[in-house]
Chain A
Amino acid sequence: GAVVSQHPSWVICKSGTSVKIECRSLDFQATTMFWYRQFPKQSLMLMATSNEGSKATYEQGVEKDKFLINHASLTLSTLTVTSAHPEDSSFYICSASIGGLIEKLFFGSGTQLSVL
């Protein structure tokens, strides 16, 4: 099956710093990728839809200046958490679909962000 690689797996940073998370589709091209946030024992909350070559589409309530998304190529999307604060601590996970009749998503392994 399709593989989505996400790095880093975990990161600890100081409050006020920025953190970049990379999401790569390894064996297919993804014109669209999705970024989710997940709190412990909770569901996946869609943050934004990342579109190759254009601006990301953010869900209601998600600060686009806080969570910068860049989808510069068909295999790479990045999420940058700017000026991170402890409340940004969470599990961030990306996904992509390879198209076809089934809209199933392939997920990256996720990034656990801890802001001190």
Chain B
Amino acid sequence: GQQVMQIPQYQHVQEGEDFTTYCNSSTTLSNIQWYKQRPGGHPVFLIQLVKSGEVKKQKRLTFQFGEAKKNSSLHITATQTTDVGTYFCAGPGTAGTSYGKLTFGQGTILTVHP
């Protein structure tokens, strides 16, 4: 079945440093989504990428979708303590599966040292 791999599993940075997490799918994706889960909280939708090579920015966050639509990345510039949490990528299910059924990557746990 479809697999979504995410690296690194953990990332510890000093406040102000940049951070990047990478996501790779075993199959071509129609779209990819990113979620953030704060410690003790629930995942919150950040963004969806649809087009090949798409790049979207949200303030200090930059999201990219690969040309082959099998990989994606999330880059945070100048991390802040508020960026702490687990970042998940997620891809849609294969054709015929329920709308909204996503396969999540393992997540990258980001800690920021002030």
Contacts and interface: CB of A to CB of B under 8 A. Distances in A.
Interface string B38-79: 000111110010000000000000000000000000000000
A43 B107 contact: yes
Contacts of B110: none
Nearest to B4: A43
Interface of A: 32, 34, 41-44, 46, 49, 51, 57, 93, 95-97, 99, 102-110
Contacts of B98: 32, 49, 51, 57
Contacts of A43: 88, 104-107
Contacts of A44: 43, 88, 104
Given A99-B99, A105-B102, 17 more contacts: A32-B98, A43-B88, A43-B107, A44-B43, A46-B103, A46-B104, A49-B101, A57-B98, A95-B100, A97-B100, A103-B31, A103-B92, A103-B102, A104-B33, A104-B45, A109-B41, A110-B41
Contacts of A105: 35, 43, 45, 100, 102
A44 B87 CA distance: 12
A55 B62 CA distance: 40
A41 B110 CA distance: 11
A107 B43 contact: yes
B100 A96 contact: yes
Nearest to B106: A43
A31 to B, nearest CB: 9
B48 A104 contact: yes
Contacts of A103: 31, 33, 48, 92, 99-100, 102
20 contacts: A32-B100, A41-B109, A42-B107, A43-B104, A44-B104, A46-B102, A51-B98, A93-B42, A95-B43, A95-B100, A96-B100, A97-B100, A102-B48, A103-B48, A103-B99, A103-B102, A104-B48, A105-B100, A109-B41, A110-B42
